[in-house]
Amino acid sequence: MPETTNVDYSTKIPNNVGLTDDQRVLKALEQWHPGYIDWWMTMGPEGFQTSDVYLRTAVSIDPKGWAKFDYVKMPEYRWGILLAPRQEDRQVNFGVHKGEKAWQEVPGEYRAMLRRLIVIQGDTEPASVEQQRHLGKTAPSLYDMRNLFQVNVEEGRHLWAMVYLLQKYFGKDGREEAEGLLQRRSGDADKPRMLGAFNEATPDWLSFFMFTFFTDRDGKMQLESLAQSGFDPLSRTCRFMLTEEAHHMFVGETGVGRTIERTCQAMKEAGIEDPYDIAAVRKLGVIDLPTIQKKANLHFSLSLDLFGSEVSTNAANYYNSGLKGRFQETRIEDDHELTKASYPVSKLVDGQVKMIDEPALTAINMRLRDDYVADCAKGVDRWNKVIEKAGVNFRLKLPHVAFHRHIGEFQNAKATPEGQILSDAEWSKKKDQWIPSTSDGDFIASLMTPCWERGKFAPWISAPKVGIDNKAGDFEYVKIHQA
Amino acid sequence: MAERIDFQTEPARYRHWKLKFDGEVAELVMDVDENAGLFDGYQLKLNSYDLGVDIELNDAIQRLRFEHPEVKVVVLKSGKDRVFCAGANIRMLAGSTHTHKVNFCKFTNETRNSMEDASRHSGQKYICAVRGTAAGGGYELALATDHIILADDGNSTVALPELPLLAVLPGTGGLTRVTDKRKVRRDLADAFCTIEEGVKGARAVKWRLVDQVVANSKFEQTVKDTAKKLAAQSDRPSGAAGIRLTPIERKLDDKSVSYSCVRIDIERDARRATITIQGPAAAPPASAEAMVAEGAAFWPLRLARELDDAILHLRLNEPEIGVLIFKSQGEPAQVLAFDAFLEANKTHWLAREVLHYWKRALKRIDLTSRSLVALIEPGSCFAGTLAEIIFACDRSFMLIGSFQGDNRVPATITLSPANFGTYTMSNDLSRLATRFLGEPESLEKAKAGIGKPLEAEASEELGLVTTALDYIDWDDEVRIFLEERASFSADGLTGMEANLRFAGPETMETKIFGRLTAWQNWIFQRPNAAGAEGALKRYGTGVKANFNPERV
């Protein structure tokens, strides 16, 4: 079957890339499939593999109506290979090849670079499934549980998407890398995932929401810049992945928003005016706003690390080669070559944070991170509206980019959330005010009791305004059949 | 450029390395301070190195041998999280003069060779524990060790990305050690050297790029166990106390450098320097214990350190001084007494170290790209070990009889057993064996002369010096030679001398230096690497290099 907008379900692997006519790749994927299922069974959501989950499955790549909802057992989910429609005459839109026809095959000289980009992106997809695998047990509602599993199966599909590219375009090396993606494990001492934030624990649901808000938003930015790629199959893959990724952002933003809403509501009901009266707020069985701020500080700073060094030769090479662009590249008004432009980069100079102009090509990571920070800030504003509306005197803030960093310009500095540089000793003394302490973690953990009754929600979180697929409030999103 | 590059340092002043001692095992930890480069204009990111980093490494390797006889195994590792070593700093290379690059590469090669020398001759083995990426010079450091252990964590790799990344070659013996030391098959080596991101895990072992890959959780223990196993094979003394390599005392001015037994006098206009070596002032110590008590003041060691420093100083800080004239002053009998002392005590760890240090210092002279001349005059002490300097020179002139009005006895050369195998050159032969490669009978005749003071004509007859001259001809002949030398092309001389110095068989060392000179230094000059649009110049900008496709 040739490439179409409709998905071919006749093969074991749903796809719109004409897999039946591509026996080599079909065979490679079929050989990879058992290993994937094995990985899903051992590292996927724990305890719910036999439950029926109301999930959406992509059935088309038509922007209107691309998915359908139905109950499915997760291991039977139809993970497919779906690429956004091919645009005739698409060009390489930036870098030294600007204006050339977009590549339908991997250019030999960029093979290693492209493979690395795809492997790094691919490695994050299964990692988050692994990080989140224990969360089902403490889900605050069936609605949230379903959202978690939706995120998980789609991350699984994103892994498929990257594996397809590896197997289709990168030969033997690609097949080995595809295997490697199933071998590494989040947080494992011997075979960790490639990027730091994907080896951190996701211990509770607030972490999960923060992760989907902050870390999946990094994923979104990465996909946005890969969607600009001159390597057309990568671009098309990422464009389709972005439609799914939007839901993950939604889960994060509304999850944190509903947590905030419930906290404010409980405070008002109890007549607590001081948001910093943490003990009093916690007694209500909700998460106090300062602790939510700390969680945001932690996840934001870990996610910033994912953008890599502010000034990066690799990023410059990716851009100049036409492999990875900027956020909304084609909407930016400049020469899209950047050989003469500069871009301000925040740096630590003599113990102070300063903006220094660097060649724009080498500052690609910095630019993407700036776009990311702006995108995060909009979400934080919406959270603040919830607080404002409840009449609580508190504002959440994004910490400074120098705060709590492990990669890039600020990795060796200690800074406050306001960006003031501190000594190591002061940092040790004060860090519990800024990032969650063990006792904060213990408190949140104490709230994480499951609430699996239809239409009910754990006391620390509000109900959503509307249901998934417009279902009524007491819809049974997950029919639990525990193994 | 810095005012003057100083090769003297000590652990308390290290910016980039840490030494940790635990009985018979030492850790040599590379933790480069990115803001402490030798020059401005680059940061030493990702444990990359410049000459300053390597000066410390060389110092550490020396001290491990002299100050720590108890150390049988050195574990070389990184102090950084996800990177072992990214090799020589590219921006430093891109910003350096060709002269600096060549001198830098030469020194780093000598340093790596000295690790292998410690292992082969001194019972001090090196293990390389690679976690993170070991790329380019990083992997070449690993290649200089006896055993490479690579973490099997999916991220740790070894790589020689010079060609794909920078359009140059590995500059510290990487290619030669891959094929000749680790004996990697040529086609696999070819594949390896074109994979920018390198090779990891089981394939790295299969291709023999590393000795073993080990899971992270077992890594430390495996390194420990391997160290223990290697330590058990060492013949270094347990429980011996080392000597302290105290700071070398020097006085520098624009025209001279003076040490306790070496003096450099520079004639800048004539572009030459005279290096005068002072023989021992006293008899050798009474015993090996007395030698240890003398420590760094022990004359052969003191002289070797000073001479080594002098040569390095001239190489890096006096690039326009084209001719080095060696002279000596002292009692030949005293020099021979020290030779005899070292020979009698050669199984003692310190005597062994001193002899091997002399070997390395003499190799450093062999590898110095200046015209080397020995002037052997009355009052000189070119005997035994010091006679090696004559044989290291491109030409030697010896005075017959005395100068007018000089009542000193005529100059002599006296050979000792040390001239017949103690101080091998890079080609693994003694200087005399190399000198007489085509005339074994001359080598035998020279051997028969061991212990006999040979005056100029006898020395010339035996082929130990180029020319014997009487006082009537001396001044003019020497002057004409030096003036002629100064008139030739510096590049031409460098090439010719390097070709003529190393007759005889190829060894890994001769290949490393020969190929560095012939290939790498050529490629370093070519526009594809060093031109305005070349890969070295464009590295880090994101802009692609523009290559001339013509194969030369």
Write out the residue range of the structural domain in which residue B122 sits: 11-232
CB B47 within 8 A of CB B83: yes
Give the Cα separation of B334 and B357 in Å (integer): 20
User: Considering the domain boundaries, does residue B4 fall inside one?
Assistant: no
Same domain, B226 and B256: no
pLDDT of residue B519: 84
Considering only CA atoms, which of A88, A355, A378, A365 is closest in space to residue A214?
Answer: A378
- Domain CATH number, residue B211: 3.90.226.10
Residues B468 and B337 in one domain: yes
Contacts of A364 in chain B (CB under 8 A): 542
Query: In whole angstroms, how far apart are CA A470 and each of A67, A94, A249, B387?
Result: 14, 41, 18, 96
CA A97 – CA A95 distance, rounded (Å): 6
Q: Do B540 and A112 touch (CB under 8 A)?
A: no
Contact A339 B195 (CB under 8 A): no
Least CB–CB distance from B540: residue in A313, A319, A321: A313
**Is B219 among the domain residues?**
yes
**CA-based nearest distance B262→chain A, Å:** 44
Q: Is residue A11 part of a domain?
A: no
Whether residue B551 is contained in a domain is answered as no
pLDDT digit string (tens) for chain B, length 552 residues? 447 999 999 999 999 999 999 999 999 999 999 999 999 999 999 999 999 999 999 999 999 999 999 999 999 999 998 899 999 999 999 889 989 999 999 999 999 999 999 999 999 999 999 999 999 999 999 999 999 999 998 889 999 999 999 999 999 999 999 999 999 999 999 999 999 999 999 999 999 999 999 999 999 999 999 999 999 999 999 989 999 999 999 999 999 999 999 999 999 999 999 999 999 999 999 999 999 999 999 999 999 999 999 999 999 999 999 999 999 999 999 999 999 999 999 999 999 999 999 999 999 999 999 999 999 999 999 999 999 999 999 999 999 999 999 999 999 999 999 999 999 999 999 999 999 999 999 999 999 999 999 999 999 999 999 999 999 999 999 999 999 999 999 999 999 999 999 999 999 999 999 888 888 888 988 999 989 999 988 888 888 899 999 998
User: Which tokens in the block code for residue B309?
Assistant: 């420093």
Q: Give per-residue pLDDT as tens, A396-423.
A: 999 999 999 999 999 989 999 999 999 9
- Residue A361's closest chain B neighbor by CA? B542
d(CA A246, CA A431): 33
Chain A closest-CA separation from residue B104 CA (Å): 24
Residues B284 and B186 in one domain: no
Under the banding of pLDDT at 50, 70 and 90, the label for residue A1 is: very low
Look at chain B and report how many structural domains it folds into.
Answer: 2
The A residues from 399 to 458 touching B (CB cutoff 8 Å) are: none
Tell me, yes or no, whether A15 lies in a domain. Answer: no
A8, part of any domain = no
Are B268 and B228 members of one domain? no
CATH code of residue A397: 1.10.620.20
pLDDT at A11 over 80: no
Chain A hits for B195, CB-CB cut-off 8 Å, are 112
Q: What is the ipTM of this complex?
A: 0.80
Q: Give the N- to C-terminal CA distance of chain B in Å, as an integer.
A: 34
Is A192 within 8 Å of B154 when comparing Cβ atoms?
A: yes
Residue A482 confidence (pLDDT): 66
- Residue ranges making up the domain that contains A109: 20-479
Position B446 in a domain:
yes
Domain total for chain A?
A: 1
Residue B5 forms part of a structural domain: no
Residue A474 falls within a domain, yes or no? yes
Write the pLDDT tens digit of every residue in A205-216. 999 999 999 999
Q: Does residue A3 belong to any structural domain of this protein?
A: no
pLDDT value, residue A80: 87
Nearest to B541 among A183, A191, A362 (CB): A362
**Amino acid, res. B187:** D
Q: Is residue B507 situated within a structural domain?
A: no
Task: Identify whether residues B168 and B275 lie together within a single domain.
Answer: no
Contact A191 B153 (CB under 8 A): yes
Q: Does A13 score more than 90 pLDDT?
A: no
Whole-number Cα distances in Å, B184 to B159, B205, B402: 14, 10, 59
Residue B388 contacts residue B362 (beta carbons within 8 Å): yes
User: Using CA atoms, how far apart are residues B183 and A52, in angstroms rounded to an integer?
Assistant: 58
Distance CA B383, CA B332 (A): 5
Q: Do B313 and B452 share a domain, yes or no? A: yes
DSSP E strands, B50-162: 73-78, 83-85, 87-88, 125-130, 133-135, 147-151, 157-159
Same domain for B217 and B285, yes or no, is: no
Domain boundary (B186, B201, B232) is at B232
B466 and B326 in one domain? yes
Please check whether residue A320 touches B, CB under 8 A: yes
Question: B217 and A339 in contact by Cβ < 8 A?
Answer: no
A454-483 pLDDT tens trace: 999 999 999 999 999 999 889 999 999 865
Distance CA B398, CA B395 (A): 10
- The one-letter amino acid code at A4 reads T
Cα distances (angstroms) measured from residue A38 to each of A32, A55, A481, B510: 10, 21, 20, 54
Asked if the structure places residue B537 within a domain, the reply is no
Letter string b/e over residues B22-55, b meaning 16 or more CB atoms within 10 A of that residue's CB: eebbbbbbbebebeebbeeebebbbbbbbbbbbb
Does residue B19 belong to any structural domain of this protein? yes
CB contact under 8 A, A180 and B155: no
B167 and B117 co-located in one domain: yes
- How far apart CA B98 and CA A140 sit, in angstroms, is 67
* A2 pLDDT more than 70: no
Task: Based on the fold, state whether residues B299 and B223 are members of the same structural domain.
Answer: no
Q: Which residue has the tokens 């006895």?
A: B409
pLDDT tens sequence across A76-131 = 998 888 898 899 999 999 999 999 999 999 999 899 999 999 999 999 999 999 99
Three-class HEC string of B457-470: HHHHHHCCCCEEEE
Q: pLDDT digits over B306-341, tens only?
A: 999 999 999 999 999 999 999 999 999 999 999 999
Mean residue pLDDT of chain A comes to: 93
Distance from CA of B5 to the nearest CA of A (A): 26
Token pair for A108:
């030999």
Among residues A116, A324, A305, the alpha carbon closest in space to that of B159 is found at A116
Q: What is the pLDDT of residue A412?
A: 87
